[in-house]
Amino acid sequence: MSSTSQSLFENELFEHFRILIDPKQGPIRIDKFLIEKITDLTRTQIQDFIKSGWITVNLEKVKPNYKVKPNDEILVLMPEPQKEQQIFPENIPLDIRFEDQELLIVHKPAGMVVHPAYKNWSGTLVNALLWHFRNLPEMPGNKGRPGLVHRIDKDTSGLLVIAKSEKAMKSLTKQFYEHSIERTYYALVWGEPVPAKGTIDVNLGRSFKDRRLTIAFPKGDFGRRAVTHYKTLQTFRYVSLIQCSLETGRTHQIRAHMKYIGHPIFNDSTYGGDQILKGTLYTKYKQFVQNCFKIMPRHALHAKTLGFMNPRTERILKLDSEVPMDFKEVLAKWKRYVNYIED
């Protein structure tokens, strides 16, 4: 037994993560690598763990600037064993838009978290699914998230497909992996994108400074490839209604991409859209925008359509959903505002 493994044993550390590096992985600092893999730790915490010997490579201590190599095995240990949080079924109504023996499509309201996590162990879509359905399948490595093959953010409204069988789980997972599933979103953004129709093909990854943020890496030296196609549907002088189609599905993809091109989503507090970014300095205009923020106290993003091959019929199934009332009211207010100032 090596001195490192012996000391780990004596200190009674518990394994939390074991990561085998892909044979094709290029050289990257271990702290930068792990910040993408372990969402609950900051970069400073990861560096402290490395210095303490709680994070090892091939059972040996390394420094935070160590560059991972193909086939390395990273072990992340902590003083406390992992605590499994039990997830309970809850009688929460589901807005089901389609259902057959293999799957269902639900409309998730804004404000509902998709799956339980830290500080959100109840009131989620998964809690509701456990109440209404039994024996939903789980994706390998996705324990505690029955039926889920994708997700949308808490404050994003719209359509989600849920697998009811192993057959559906495998088929849908494959379709998502192959980017063959059609997903379109409606978003209200600040300004008018130029050109009015385009593609954003820029890597996205977690911010080193703030783990809650997804940021763009235009040089492609970090993060993962992310592709968003957009087109402007209507402009209202200072804001625009756009349609976004996803080719990939990264965390906060549309929100981060729109921020990157200078058009944050309206009232997106995470990416700066909750400030008045376009318009006049008049008090009445500021009051108008603040009133819109109150009507829609969330980012203006809606998962509108979902299309894929139904595993049961092997035919394309496509559903569309209307934007919710708060979104409609804000759009109506902007239309009235533009008509008023142009009269």
Q: Taking the alpha carbons of 293, 297, 301, 304 in that order, is the dihedral positive or negative? A: negative
Task: Please tell me what DSSP assigns to residue 86.
Answer: P
What does the pLDDT read at residue 321? 97
Arithmetic mean of pLDDT, 6-25: 65
Which CATH code, of 3.10.290.10, 1.10.3720.10, 3.90.380.10, 3.90.1260.10, is assigned to 3-78? 3.10.290.10
Same fold yes or no, 96-176 and 182-342 = yes
* pLDDT tens, residue by residue, 152-192: 999 999 999 999 999 999 999 999 989 999 999 999 999 99
The pLDDT mean for the chain works out to 89
- Comparing 135-144, 191-200, 236-245, the range with the smallest average pLDDT is 135-144
Of the options 2.30.130.10, 3.60.21.10, 3.40.50.300, 3.30.2350.10, the CATH number for the domain spanning 182-342:
3.30.2350.10
Q: Is the pLDDT of residue 318 over 50?
A: yes
Q: What is the pLDDT of residues 53-69, one digit of tens each?
A: 889 999 888 999 999 99
Lowest pLDDT segment from 17-21, 171-175, 227-231, 323-327: 17-21
- Specify the pTM: 0.77
CA distances from 45 to 24, 49, 52, 65, 183 (A): 27, 6, 10, 14, 36
Q: What pLDDT, on the 0 to 100 scale, is given for residue 10?
A: 35
Which pLDDT band holds residue 39 (cuts at 50, 70, 90)? low
Does the pLDDT of residue 208 top 70, yes or no? yes
Distance CA 181, CA 262 (A): 28
pLDDT exceeds 70 at position 6: no
State pLDDT tens for residues 81-118. 555 567 889 999 999 999 999 999 999 999 999 987 75
What's the pLDDT score for residue 44? 87
Domain residue ranges of the chain, discontinuous segments joined by +: 3-78, 96-176, 182-342
**Taking CA 284 as the corner, what is the angle to CA 281 and CA 289, rounded to the nearest 5 degrees?**
80
Judge whether residue 5 has pLDDT over 50: no
| 48 a catalytic residue | no
Tell me the mean pLDDT in the region 199-227. 90
Q: Which of the following is catalytic: 72, 153, 155, 268?
A: 153
Residue 145 has pLDDT above 90, yes or no: no
Q: In this model, does residue 11 exceed pLDDT 80?
A: no
CB 190 within 8 A of CB 278: yes
| CATH class (in words) of the domain with range 96-176 | alpha beta
Handedness of CA 262, 212, 139, 30 (dihedral sign): positive
Burial group, residue 167, by CB count within 10 angstroms (0-12, 13-18, 19+): middle
